[in-house]
Amino acid sequence: MPGFGDIVQKAFYLGVGLASYAGEKAGGKLAELRSQVQKLADEMVAKGEMNTEEARRFVEDMMKQAQQPQAPGETSEKTAPSEPRRIEILDEEPAVKEAPKENVDHLREQVLELRQKLEQLKRDQ
């Protein structure tokens, strides 16, 4: 059975390995981000939307923002929040009041009159 020192040593190496792996991944993502931001800045310079000095500052500012640690309350668009988003369910349709009988009868009469006019127009053609 391995001694306590061996377990601590393996845990330490595991931690160092994980930190190294995370650093490599973060470095790769930052390099990819720098490439994309540089391409965007180059396109804007080509279109005349900014000059080269503004483009250089734009790239530097974006990289500084990317390297700053994110506040605990903020979540990036790509990472999922730790708990599901709450959804409020509302009634799909508002309650419909019944129309007074007089209105219903009046509307029926109008529909009948319009049908008669339509039939008359069809016959006249």
pLDDT value of residue 124: 87
Residue 115 has pLDDT above 90, yes or no: yes
pLDDT digits 0-9 by tens, 22-71: 878 877 887 888 888 888 888 888 888 888 888 888 888 888 887 777 66
Q: How confident is the model at residue 96 (pLDDT cuts 50, 70, 90)?
A: low
By percentage, how much of the chain surpasses pLDDT 70? Answer: 82
Q: How confident is the model at residue 98 (pLDDT cuts 50, 70, 90)?
A: low
- Is residue 57 within 8 Å of 65, Cβ to Cβ? no
Neighbours of 50 (CB within 10 A): 14
93-111 average pLDDT score: 77
d(CA 107, CA 102): 9
For the record, the structure tokens of 73 come out as 């309350």
pTM above 0.85, yes or no: no
d(CA 58, CA 33): 13
